[in-house]
Amino acid sequence: MVYLDHAATTGVRPEVAADVTAGLGSLGNPSSLHGHGRAARRTVEESRERIAAAVGCTPHEVVFTGGGTEADNLAIKGLYWARNAQDPARRRVLLSAVEHHAALDPAQWIADHQGAQVEYLPVDRLGRVSPETLREAVGSDPDSVALVSVMWANNEVGTVQPVRELAEVAAEYGIPMHTDAVQAVGAEPVDFAASGVGALSLSGHKLGGPVGAGALVLARGLTPVPVLHGGGQERDVRSGTVPTALVRGLATAVGMAVDEREEHVKHVSALRDELEARVREAVPDVVVNGDPQGRLPGIAHLSFPGCEGDALLMLLDAQGISCSTGSACSAGVAQPSHVLLAMGADPDTALSSLRLSLGRSSTSEDVAALAAAIGPAVERSRAARAKRRY
C-alpha cells in the first residue's frame, strides 16, 4: 500500500501516541479545583506554552478547539458577530476565492442567515491573492468590512499566500485578518506575531497529532462571539471541557513539526520533485498546478488532459495507491475544483486533477510505485472517456 494523501491526514507520531495514551490514563477535569484537576490544568497550560513558543505567540493567545474546522468557524462567525454588533454597517466579509470549505461554508452561512455580505478576492493563475487586490476590495469604505480571511497556504495546489503583506493592508484600515494555517504549520515558517494577523487556525492531525485537537490563535484584544456556549472555558471563547490528553498530544506534534521543519522540507521537496519528473516521463502532457517557486513542499497537484480525476483516483486505488482529487462530489456527480476554477482553469481541467501529497513516512519507493502505475491509469481513463463521448 502506498499512501500519497498526507495533506488530508498523516500518521500519528509515536511520541504523540505515547503522550495521548499516558494522558488518557490520568484522572482530572482541568476546570476542577482539587488536586487531580490542578494536575490536568498544569498539563493543559504547559501544552499551551509549548504551542505558543512554536508558532510565535503568547500562551494567552492560544485557544484550544476541536480542530481546524472549528477554529475557522469560530474566527469567521465569531469575529463577524463581534464586529457587526459594534457597528451594524460592518457587514462585508472578504475571503480569498481559494479557501478551504471550512472557511467558505461558515462565511456563506452568515451570509444566508446573518445578513453578511461575502466577497471573494480573486487570485492569479498561480492561486495567489495580491495585496493590491485586497486594497482594491476594501475600497473607499473600509468601515463596512468586518474581517478578512486568507489562508496561509492552499490545501489543494499548495500556493503560499503573501500573508504578512495582506495583513499589513488590513491593518492600515483597522480590519482584523484571519488565516487558516492548517497546511502551513510545520511546512512554512509560521510566526503569528511577525505575520501581523489577528487570528490563526491550526490542526493536529495534519502534522502527526491526534484528530480532534486544534487551536485558534487570537491576538490580545480580539474577542469573537462564541460559537459554543457553556462553561466559559478558553477565555470564554470556546466552552467545553478541555481534552487534556489530546492537547498534550497536539503540543507535542506542533513542537516536533516546527523543530524538524527544515529537515522535513528538504525530504519532501526532493521526493515531490522526483515524483513530478517521473510522472512527466510517463505522461508528457501532464500540467503541474500552483506556484513552482512558492508552494508547500509536500504537494504535487497535477492535471491530466483527457482524464477524469475521480476515475484516475479509483484506478490508482486498485493498485494500492491512495491520493485525492481536488473536486467535490454532490449527489454522486463530481464537481470541478473551485480552486482551479478560481485560478482560471476550464471545467474539464479542473475535473482532471489529482493531489499527490507527501509526508514524513514517504519514500522513493512510493514515488516509483506511482510512476509505474500512472501511465497505464491515464491511458485507461482517456480510453474510457473517449468511448463514452462516442
Q: What is the CA radius of gyration of the chain?
A: 22
Q: How far is CA 244 from the centre of its chain?
A: 24
- Cβ neighbours of residue 78 closer than 8 Å, sequence gap 6 or more: 224, 225, 226, 227, 237
Helix, strand or coil for residue 311? Answer: helix
Task: Convert 289-305 to b/e letters by CB count within 10 Å (16 or more is b).
Answer: bbbeebbbbbbbbbbbe
Q: And the C-alpha cell for 325?
A: 482529487
Q: What is the largest CA-CA distance in the chain?
A: 74
| Secondary structure element (H or E) that encloses residue 374, with its range | helix 364-389
Look at residues 345, 74, 104 and name the one whose alpha carbon lies nearest to residue 225: 74
Yes or no: say if 126 and 290 are a contact pair by the CB < 8 Å rule.
yes
> Catalytic positions, please?
329
Q: And the C-alpha cell for 237?
A: 471563547
